[in-house]
Amino acid sequence: MSTPRTHDQQVSVLHVGKYFPPDPGGMETYLHDLMVSSLQQGTRSIALVHRSQLGVTSTHQRYQASGFELSVTRAATWLRLLFTPISPAFPWLMRRLIRQNRPGLLHLHLPNPSAFWALTIPSARRLPWVIHWQSDVLTPKSGALLRALYHLYRPLESRLLQRARRIIVTSTDYLESSETLAPFKSKCRVIPLGITDRFQTPDSRDPDKQTDRPLKVLTIGRLAHYKGFDVLIDAIAHTSQIELDVVGGGEQLEALQARAHALGLASRVRFHGTVGDDEKDALLLACDCLCLPSTDRTESFGIVLLEAMSAGKACVVSEIPGSGVNWVVDSGQTGVMVEGDNPAALANAFERLSDDRAQLSSMGARGRERFEQLLTIEASAQAVIKLYEEIAVTNAETPS
């Protein structure tokens, strides 16, 4: 770990995000871990996000994490429109946090319409901005309503991108495929995401002693249409014994449960709902492989893949053109990539891995190595902090 910076060298940051743990989600996990690792490396930060539950009261909370205190303000969410939180207090809270904490930089995590308020607040406009581009709003599979509303969203999105000093993109694949980012490529920097290592050692089970039981597949995520969980359940129906554990909640839960029941999979597909980290970690350690069957570029990176690789598990993923998932999983080495939206191809991959548990174990071990080399939160945070410092130097040298 790098030597912490002195107080005079610190770059203070206000993160503007959508939600924050304990709210589940890959981007929420990353923001939390980034703030902790940044503090460990000498960079102070606070966060402004939304409350996930509807209400009219905003909250200010302090969390203890790894010996550091995280300051998080959650703006009251009055309602949701197309899964977007509407928080009238957001601009007032942003203005207050800037006045009270005097950050040297704004870090805007997109997509998040509330970040647009930075365009209207003089104190925010005076700060340099970093935009963290998590995913495009529109993808090839976006519906007609979203496409229509994007005409209203896009001008504000473009203004944010124009004012940003730098745009962080999580993979080269995503940068090259994003039409929205194409005019701003010179500002873009590729910094892969990372997570805290919760598993100090990989799975050490003997693969030769695992062949006498069914393969256990785990999938984790919000049960949304683009996640491909319906394809995964259909794939399990194409197998004879393979079992599936589904972790997560969302709008597709009842439909997926009904699908599994109709296919006669009640004994082989288990729905756990939203679980805490301890239960999720236990399921990761108990599974044989993790599957991410997403079918759309909305799945831009796949934080859950990093969790599986940290636990020493192979990953089975659907190929998503233009997504960072294709880079995270080294097909044939740390996992298997199959044709997207193809239950038969997914089932065949499971059957092959079930028959070759030694290969499954080797992939998991190589996944652990790839995680340690490229995908830790320390590596990601160090690259982000270096970007902050470059911007701070440039800002100091720019005449007022």
Answer whether residue 197 shows pLDDT above 50. yes
Q: What is the mean pLDDT of residues 390-400?
A: 70
- Is 201 part of any domain? no
DSSP one-letter string for 162-190: HH-SEEEES-HHHHHH-TTTGGGGGGEEE
Confidence of residue 1 (pLDDT cuts 50, 70, 90): very low
Tell me, what's the pLDDT at 4? 45
- Is 202 part of any domain? no
Q: What is the C-alpha to C-alpha distance for residues 163 and 171, in angstroms, rounded to an integer?
A: 22
Burial class (CB in 10 A: 0-12, 13-18, 19+), 263: middle
Number of domains in the chain: 2
Tell me, what's the pLDDT at 204? 47
State whether 129 and 254 are in the same domain. no
Q: Residue 114: phi, psi to the nearest 5?
A: -65, -20
Q: Which amino acid is at 176?
A: E
Beta strands in the chain (DSSP E): 13-16, 45-54, 59-65, 68-77, 79-81, 84-86, 105-110, 129-133, 166-169, 188-190, 216-220, 243-247, 269-273, 289-292, 314-318, 335-338
State whether 312 and 393 are in the same domain. no
- Is 200 part of any domain? no
- Is 91 part of any domain? yes
Question: Comparing 268 with 396, which gets the higher pLDDT?
Answer: 268
Tell me, what's the pLDDT at 201? 59
Burial class (CB in 10 A: 0-12, 13-18, 19+), 383: middle
Tell me, what's the pLDDT at 164? 97
State whether 149 and 292 are in the same domain. no
Tell me, what's the pLDDT at 8? 45
* Cα end-to-end span (Å), the chain: 36
State whether 367 and 280 are in the same domain. yes
Tell me, what's the pLDDT at 344? 97
Tell me, what's the pLDDT at 206? 52
> In a 3-state reduction of DSSP, which class is residue 253?
helix
Tell me, what's the pLDDT at 139? 78
> In a 3-state reduction of DSSP, which class is residue 266?
coil
**Cα separations in angstroms, 170 against 81, 94, 240, 278, 353:** 27, 26, 38, 27, 29
**Structural domain that includes position 250:** 207-374
State whether 315 and 276 are in the same domain. yes
Cα–Cα nearest to 27, from 168, 180, 152, 172: 168
CA angle 33, 36, 37 (to 5 degrees): 85
- Is 287 part of any domain? yes
State whether 224 and 251 are in the same domain. yes
Question: Comparing 10 with 280, which gets the higher pLDDT?
Answer: 280
Q: What is the C-alpha to C-alpha distance for residues 350 and 291, in angstroms, rounded to an integer?
A: 10
What value does the mean pLDDT of the chain take? Answer: 91
- Is 177 part of any domain? yes
SS3 content of the chain, % helix, strand, coil (to 5): 45, 20, 35
Confidence of residue 327 (pLDDT cuts 50, 70, 90): very high
pLDDT digits (tens, 9 = 90+) for 72-127: 999 999 999 877 899 999 999 999 999 999 999 999 999 999 999 999 999 999 99
State whether 185 and 53 are in the same domain. yes
State whether 214 and 174 are in the same domain. no
Give me 105's structure tokens: 């930089």
**CB within 8 Å of 109: residues ≥ 6 apart:** 15, 16, 17, 18, 27, 31, 115, 132, 134
Q: Which amino acid is at 227?
A: K
State whether 61 and 123 are in the same domain. yes
Which residue carries 């080399």 as its tokens?
A: 373
State whether 147 and 17 are in the same domain. yes
Tell me, what's the pLDDT at 25? 85
Ranges 201-215, 322-336, 372-386: which has the least confidence: 201-215
**CB within 8 Å of 65: residues ≥ 6 apart:** 32, 36
Q: What is the CATH number of the domain that holds 125?
A: 3.40.50.2000
- Is 2 part of any domain? no
Q: What is the mean pLDDT of residues 7-25?
A: 83
Q: What is the mean pLDDT of residues 383-388?
A: 96
Answer whether residue 67 shows pLDDT above 90. no
Q: What is the mean pLDDT of residues 358-362?
A: 95
pLDDT digits (tens, 9 = 90+) for 23-45: 888 899 999 999 999 999 999 99
State whether 143 and 20 are in the same domain. yes
Percent of the chain clearing pLDDT 70 (strictly above): 93
Confidence of residue 2 (pLDDT cuts 50, 70, 90): very low
DSSP one-letter string for 378-395: HHHHHHHHHHHHHHHHHH
Asked whether the CA dihedral 334, 203, 2, 188 is positive or negative, the reply is positive
**Residue pair 131/110 in contact by the 8 Å Cβ criterion:** yes
State whether 175 and 236 are in the same domain. no
The residue count of the chain comes to 400
- Is 122 part of any domain? yes
**pTM, 2 dp:** 0.90
